[in-house]
Structure 1
């Protein structure tokens, strides 16, 4: 027996409502590899220690350098890369707002018209009519989220938003490491310049002695030319070191958001100039395995996977029919006498199904899945690369510390050798060539010692960076002048403040949090 039409409609609506629980596409699963759970290396164990202070987020405080602290604070406030990353967080928050709008009717159109009609008919008599016609209406269309198209789009935008926050934190990690590295490169160049000048002054005196002896006939020209060559060689290294100092100053100026300038007021403190610290341990608040996975770039890669995973569900929803609830209210009136006003109400469901797509939809699903797999491989490789960076930095620090002890002894021996060579020369037991050799060895050992110290500092900074340290900043995502400039152009409706007030440790909805609406 055939069912009545109205019963068919009711059964269809029940089936569609039951289908409303479906969310097509894969639910995101974290891709953590088993080896990361207890990962560490002998080198990391040797150069790290567990302590609460200083916090890994502000690791540069281990150097106890107030100038470095000030430079990093200024870079947080003014660096162009950090400001751009903050604006991209605001952009991603606006994109999330667009996705959240999918929960509500997609079509909401109000219309109104006023028409003037002037007609004239010729015949036995001429008839002229002038009529005003009025109409107003409201059209509403609401595509129901039966297959999870809109919920998956929200999930994707939510993960992308939190990925942008993680990228902002990664920019801070890189910036802090770069500021510290550039700063200590400057200090090492200053120390090397001081040593070069001291040795040049010493070698100049030797050159003047040999010149006097040569003119008095007490020495041959070979000693004179060797002393001159050594002095001029050392003197030639001074302009290059001065150039390195100027370039490091300019680099620091750009990093802190200034035009290239000497920055004397920030850097020229007599008690800090040319000081290259030596620290043999990195202070951590957790085990390296946990810190590795909390690196901002690793978290960003994971969130980008989550965003792409949700897009597979959005693409799959196109394979199924879409059901839209349509509604329209219309009113019309005319100035023509005896013409009644009209009110029309139209409502009902609409079903659309792209049956013949010739593989376009399925291939789009495959494209989204292939992109997800690319991000999975990228994430796995990023974790491995992060582990390599941490172990390389730890190993490099160990070897630099070993070399530092050797070079320190070598410098002391070279200094003692020069003193002995000068004494033997004055007593007439040795020629001047041994003095020149001792001076050359002293300068080489002292310079190598400073270069190695700078290398050790660089490895320590690299270790902190590899473990994701330095991601916190006390500055807002968007500084006040920039926010004011943007709000003069566009009504932001508090969105900038909303994005800036998001808790730093909050997770996206796919990881147990909820995005603000």
Structure 2
């Protein structure tokens, strides 16, 4: 829940209250992650597709459960080379630098050296000093000003920047989740397409033999031209499917190239693979889905974004109160005139600045920030709902494709038997050639559908792992910034130690279901 520490419209009644304000907590709400009321009761069986197992491996490397080293290698390459993941890593670095700016505001905000020198040439007309005079002047001063953090402006600013930093870490993890799922989906989509091409070619070979038989029978006068043209039509229609599947294969390969940070072209890693797909097994989870849902990186990012915005409400509230500062100046001024000596000065004291007539600007800015906070809270709630929906959709898709696969396998067996019977009856003269053509078409359709559905089931498994938030690992500074990129950035800018300092693990905000 959000607890408002100070009413947005409240103002101190007298400057004497400043003394007590020093010990006060920062203005604005203290953030606490909202409780998801329905989550405690949401313990779905996910259509029997999930098997709870406390001994199960963590889903952070779920693709290893498929036992496919080519897929594992592609995902590791994508983690190293994907441009989107690099951008997400650089945003961590950006937010880290922004946090450094916020921390720096705790200290004197103005620390400035001012210096000036001048050559003066004067012409005096009349009087005792009539004539021309030349002299030089110079001055130097060190100014310092420190706004005291009575109302928590800078503390809330650090709180907001800190939460934004951890939100960028969570976003980078979310990109890892999406990237692993995309690579796996395209990889098994590619293998599914290979299977479909193989099936199409097998059927083309069968139909080509039938075409040759009908051509010979037609040329010998034993069959009509109708049988020949029907066989030829079916053969060419099946043959025409192969270029379309090859186009899909190219698109899938090029999409994989993009994820790997490569130009479109051949992928040597795919050269030796076949169209085999992993078995359709249930997923073993070490924890309940509700617990995994709350650790999804995008859910965590939404929580951190709400925390960052909560602190901005407090920052806006501080504008309603006077800013109390300490200032000081140490200066020296001199010139070349003998009759005027050099001057050294020391000036110090407090300063107060208070926008007492803002015509509603400051109050409305607090309201703007509070409305944005409520939006962030609603976004967090919506993100949790979407996560639950995605988990349920993926599990339902797994269950339905598994059930459909059993039916399609039986249908495929029936189609194979039907073609066998139709071919035998045609050879024996008990049925016409149309029955053979129909059986061939049915076999091809059922074979293709069975492979497509098997690929859909694998894609559903991948979607379920993705929806559960599997597929990320904690970011390291070496992982988010490759050595070559770090070298280029150092050549452009003095990054101090930011390019080498380890990333903090950071707390994980979490609401218990």
Which band: TM-score by shorter chain? over 0.9
Indicate the residue corresponding to 1:129 in structure 2: 133
Q: Structure 1 residue 17: deviation in Å?
A: 5.8
**How far apart are 1:431 and its partner, in Å?**
2.1
Corresponding position of 1:340 = 341
Query: What is the rounded CA distance, in whole Å, between the counterparts of 2:474 and 2:204 in structure 1?
Result: 44
Determine if the alignment matches structure 1 residue 114 to structure 2 residue 122: no
TM-score, with length taken from structure 2: 0.92
Instruction: State the Cα distance separating 1:414 from its structure 2 match.
Output: 1.4
CA distance in 1, matches of 2:62, 2:52: 13
- How far is 1:256 from its partner? 0.5
Consecutive unaligned residues of structure 2, counting only runs of 5 or more, are 1-13
Shift of 1:220: 1.5
Q: Do residues 243 (structure 1) and 244 (structure 2) align?
A: no
| 1:21-61 CA distance string (max 9 Å, x none) | 33110000111312223522122554334255543111111
- CA contact 1:47–1:398 (8 Å) conserved in 2: no
Map residues 179-190 of structure 1 onto 2, 5 A cutoff. 179-190=183-194
**What secondary structure is seen at the aligned counterpart in 2 of 1:332?**
strand
SS where residue 497 of structure 1 aligns?
coil
Deviations 1:296-338 (A, max 9, x none): 0000000000000000000010001110101111112222225
8 Å contact 1:332–1:341 — kept in the other structure?
Answer: yes
Distance between the aligned counterparts of 1:353 and 1:33, measured in 2?
41
Is the 2:49–2:398 Cα contact (8 Å) retained in structure 1?
no
Give the equivalent residue in structure 2 for 1:310. Answer: 311
Matched ranges for 1:342-421 at <5 A: 342-421=343-422
Is residue 107–residue 139 contact of structure 1 (8 Å, CA) maintained in 2? Answer: yes
Secondary structure in 1 matching 2:114 = strand
C-alpha RMSD of the superposition: 1.9
After superposition, residues 431-450 of structure 1 pair within 5 angstroms as: 431-450=432-451
Structure 1 residues not aligned, in runs of 5+: 1-10, 512-517
Distance 1:255 1:483 in 2: 21
Distance 1:361 1:18, change over 3 A: closer
Distance (whole Å) between structure 2 residues aligned to residue 368 and residue 356 of structure 1: 20
Q: Contact 2:52 / 2:287 at 8 angstroms: preserved in 1?
A: no
1:29 and 2:32 matched = yes
In 1, distance between residues paired with 2:452 and 2:300? 35
In the aligned structure 2, how far is the partner of 1:122 from the partner of 1:380?
A: 81
Deviation per CA, 1:128-184: give whole Å up to 9, x if none.
333222211111110001011110011011101110110111111111111100111
Cα offset for 1:349? 0.6
**Shift of the alpha carbon at 1:371?**
0.7
Aligned to 1:7: none
Aligned match of 1:82 in 82, 85, 94? 85
Task: Mark the CA change 1:161 to 1:287 in structure 2 (over 3 Å): closer, same or farther.
Answer: same
Query: Is residue 2:483 matched to residue 1:480?
Result: yes
Moved more, 292-301 or 26-35: 26-35
Aligned to 2:337, what secondary structure does the other structure show? Answer: coil
What is the total number of aligned residue pairs between the two structures? 494
Cα distance between partner residues in 2 of 1:256 and 1:422: 49
Offset from partner CA, 1:68-122 (integer Å, 9 cap, x none): 1111111111111101111111111111111111100111111122222222334
CA shift for structure 1 position 427: 2.1
The match for 1:147 is 151
SS of the residue corresponding to residue 476 of structure 1 reads: helix
8 Å contact from structure 1 (residues 54, 61) kept in 2: no
Contact 1:16 1:146 in 2 (8 A): no
Displacement after TM superposition at 1:125 (Å): 8.1
Task: Compute the displacement of 1:279 (Å).
Answer: 2.7
Aligned-pair distance for 1:199? Answer: 0.3
Higher mean displacement: 169-178 or 431-440: 431-440
